Amino acid sequence: MSVKLYRKARRINVRNRRVEEMVQHPDLESESRLSMIQMLIPLGLQAVEDVLQKEVRRQVGGERHDRTGCDNKRWGQNPGSVCLGDQKLRINVPRVRNMRTGKEVPLQSYRRLQDPGHLDELALARVINGISQGKYERAAQKIPETFGIKKSSVSRKFIRASAKRLEEFSNRDLSGYDIVAIFIDGKFFAENEMVIALGVTITGEKVILGFVETSTENSRVCKAFLNGLKERGLNLDQEILFIIDGGKGIHKGICEVMGDSALIARCQWHKRENVLGYLAKERRDEWKRRLQAAYEQTSYEQAKKALGALKQELKDINISAVGSLEEGMDETLMLQRLGMFEKLGRSFKTTNCIENVNKGLELYTGRVCRWQNSDQRQRWVATALLEIEPRLRVVMGYEHLKELREAMKRFVAARRKQEIAA
């Protein structure tokens, strides 16, 4: 044997001895020991045999062929299977029978080792991160006794695990989150749209609150969606800034749920692109710069004056562009009206925060060739969103979010006074 092969074999032997020592450690709980065994292939096969035989000895009260002092007796063996690593393997399972009752005595360790729960999670993690179900068998560890890793089997594992993720995502409690801003946007999957809500807590963390499947962004669906979040514990009784792309259905739904406390900031990027869409291509770069400069004014008065001047010029170019600019203008300047543009403009002047979530969603779901039904779409979306959420960063300017809340309270109070006076 060459020195290289000798060293490799020695490393493997050392590793195996360490694993065996860990599995046999007296302080290791039974459940933890079985979980460790399930991750050891093929060393785990021997460990499984040892665990089963140890339980048999406890059940029968002695070694093989000992027929004294216990009603339980060894009763041969049956073919069976256990879950190891990311697959199932065939083994021979020892049997124990109670001679007084004539009934089989189940082996608890065997039942535990048959549990496919961790296999479902492994299949989900691998499929959602890029291994196709058709190629899963080639990606799995090659063990002669392996079965149950064909495409159909992997598909069933993924369905079970992703269904659990969907249930977890749809039912998780939102009462522990102090939300100060919510981004709402939709992403299409074939002909259906998933409207997603991304919350920002008072400390700047991003939380994916939920999603709803719809064919259009109508107000009835949006209203039901927000009320559903409220039923799950989300506090909508305080001032919250909603950042949207300008969809009328979402806008109306927010107003119906929030009433006179609704604070809506329209995405400046979407508004600018809508206006540019009415102009000739050769003029778009110039107007893009000018509109951007107007929106970058930190005070409401300056920004509105700059946009007003541009509106007058646009009247000679395209009246439809003027109408687009006027529509919802004050909502595109909501941060300026609150006096928070300079501190929070980078985070809240556009819907970029949720657009980035949608891009991440595309990385996970873009490989799906055909969306078969609503259950499939929602399982994939929920699983992908739970994968994305832990990697979301805090918003820029998070240290000013308490100021934002106070500014919103003052703004809503002033608006109510004006309504009462009117």
State the Cα torsion 147-150-152-156 to the nearest 10°.
60
As a whole number of angstroms, the distance between CA 251 and CA 86 comes to 47
pTM for this one?
Answer: 0.70
- Whether 265 contacts 300, CB under 8 Å: no
- Whether 265 contacts 348, CB under 8 Å: yes
State the Cα torsion 359-361-366-371 to the nearest 10°.
-140
Strands (E), 110-244: 146-147, 179-189, 192-201, 206-214, 241-244
- Whether 388 contacts 360, CB under 8 Å: yes
Tokens encoding 222: 């949006």
- Whether 97 contacts 105, CB under 8 Å: yes
- Whether 292 contacts 255, CB under 8 Å: no
pLDDT of residue 118: 56
- Whether 262 contacts 254, CB under 8 Å: yes
Sign of CA dihedral 409, 412, 418, 422: negative
Per-domain boundaries in the chain: 3-115, 121-139+149-171, 176-421
The dihedrals phi and psi of 131, each to the nearest 5 degrees, come to: -85, 120
The tens-digit pLDDT sequence of the chain (422 residues) is: 455 544 545 554 544 454 455 445 454 455 555 554 555 555 566 677 778 888 888 888 766 555 556 788 888 888 887 776 556 777 888 888 888 888 888 888 878 777 665 555 655 555 555 544 444 344 444 444 444 444 455 567 777 888 888 999 999 999 999 999 999 999 888 788 899 999 999 999 999 999 999 887 788 999 999 999 999 999 999 899 999 998 889 999 999 999 888 899 999 999 999 999 999 999 999 999 999 999 999 999 999 999 999 999 999 999 999 999 999 999 999 999 999 999 999 999 999 999 999 999 988 888 787 888 888 899 889 989 998 999 999 999 999 999 999 999 999 999 888 888 76
The dihedrals phi and psi of 213, each to the nearest 5 degrees, come to: -95, 130
The owner of tokens 């508004």 is: 271
Residues 6 or more apart whose CB falls under 8 angstroms from that of 145 comprise 45, 89, 90, 91
- Alpha carbon of residue 76 to chain centroid: 48
Give the residue from 161, 156, 218, 214 showing the smallest Cα distance to 374: 214
Tokens encoding 298: 């930190």
As a whole number of angstroms, the distance between CA 115 and CA 144 comes to 21
Give the residue from 315, 300, 309 showing the smallest Cα distance to 265: 300
Sign of CA dihedral 332, 209, 195, 218: negative
- Whether 216 contacts 249, CB under 8 Å: yes
Residue 301 class from Cβ within 10 Å (0-12 exposed, 13-18 middle, 19+ buried)? exposed
Q: Hey, what amino acid is at 146?
A: T
User: Could you write out the DSSP letters of every residue in 15-31?
Assistant: HHHHHHHHHT-TTS-HH
pLDDT of residue 50: 79
